[in-house]
Amino acid sequence: DLSRWLAKSGTFPLAVVSFGLPVSVSLPCPVIQLDLPLLGGRSQYEVWCCDHPIRFYKHGGTVAAMTGVVLFGSITAPEDPNTGLAHTTEQAYGELLRLLREFGFPHLWRIWNYFPRINDEQHGLERYRLFCMGRHHALTDALPGFPGSLPAGTAVGTQRGPLQMYFLAGAQPVTHLGNPRQLNAYEYPEIYGPRSPSFARATLCRSEGAPQLFISGTASVVGHQSRHEGLPDLQALETVTNLRALIDRAQDLAPAIDRGTSHSVFKVYVRNQKYLETVQHVLQGSFLLPSRLLYLQGDLCRKELLVEIEGLITTD
Ligand code: 3EB
């Protein structure tokens, strides 16, 4: 029961994300409803909260909650079929940058992107690639420090709905990390699309004393190539190896970051319910704590990818 939980918690909601479930309470913060079915578990909400009252902002499809330190924003952009997804994405990212400028949170920490039919073709190009073009176009000149200032990201396909983005941005800078086993996505060769995907593998945030690590959607990609096509078990294993390498690198910079901590949450996106058991079985033998995992059915940005895992590790 969301409203009872919030009333009892003694905290202030910064954002609520729901997976398939309607949110019946009205809250002074972004509320994001994603068409991503929960797999193999009881329904849960993702609740972001903070100790201080927030400032609330709403204008059209843009909603934000702010403290003195952090802004949580969401942008909902219905697609105009005449202009296409690249244009919709470029506009939405332009709006995101405008919001950050208006309220003085120039440093992007983390972005989540969701839109339907991610692997379908439109105007002769896969929709994920159109999305990457619009995102790149909006950010390349307007985001100071691009591409080194790009934050951790997720891009996952829903069944239906508008383009939905939610994001964290801060007043203070953060550290963006690459994965030693993977090429930076913003350096992918053109075989993956005319414009490269604009995200970092992880973002380490140390502004509040206790470090936090935002881990991007991580899949069975080594270098820039997809591995283990058609094999969900080996893809899950490769993904865990990638996560381990990434978290180890973050730990070199912030020793308090611990991959086995219960102060962590991971989201596992599985392309098809039929792979769930296999993926769960592999993850049971990994460092990921079963109680800290949420399984969702979502489409992934390369047709051959069957599983992707993102996470957040905190240290207090
Ligand atoms: C990959 O490694 C997998 O386009 O924002 C993962 C996380 C992936 C984020 C994005 C894409 C994105 O390329 C795909």
Burial of 308 (0-12, 13-18, 19+ CB in 10 A): buried
Shortest-distance Cα residue to atom 9 of ligand 1? 154
Q: Is 85 in the pocket of ligand 1 (CB under 6 A)?
A: no
How, if at all, do strands 163-170 and 107-116 pair? antiparallel
Q: Is 221 in the pocket of ligand 1 (CB under 6 A)?
A: yes
Closest CA to 170 of 244, 248, 109, 89: 109
Instruction: Count Cβ neighbours within 10 Å for each residue of 250-276 and write b for 16 or more, e otherwise.
Output: bbeebebbbbeeeebbbbbbbbeeebb
CA 85 to ligand 1 center in whole angstroms: 17
CA 7 to ligand 1 center in whole angstroms: 36
Tens-place pLDDT, residues 41-94:
778 899 999 988 999 999 999 999 999 999 999 999 999 888 999 999 999 999
CA 253 to ligand 1 center in whole angstroms: 23
Q: Is 46 a catalytic residue?
A: no
> Structure tokens of 178?
């690459």
Q: How confident is the model at residue 24 (pLDDT cuts 50, 70, 90)?
A: confident
Nearest-atom index, ligand 1, CA of 113:
5
Indicate the top mutation candidate among 154, 226, 243, 310 to test ligand 1's pocket, ranked by most ligand atoms within 8 A of CB.
Answer: 154
Alpha helix locations (H) across the chain? 2-9, 85-103, 127-142, 232-253, 276-284
Q: Is 311 in the pocket of ligand 1 (CB under 6 A)?
A: no
Give the model's pLDDT for residue 232. 98
Give the model's pLDDT for residue 41. 76
Structure letter (DSSP) for residue 292? G
- Distance separating alpha carbons of residues 221 and 182, to the nearest angstrom: 7
Q: State the chain's mean pLDDT as an integer.
A: 96
Tens-place pLDDT, residues 252-274:
999 999 998 889 999 999 999 99
> Structure tokens of 275?
């792979």
Give the model's pLDDT for residue 44. 87
Q: Active site residue: 79, 126, 308, 310, which one?
A: 308
Contact between residue 299 and residue 154 where contact means Cβ atoms under 8 Å apart: no
Nearest-atom index, ligand 1, CA of 154:
9
Residues 6+ apart with CB under 8 A from 141: none
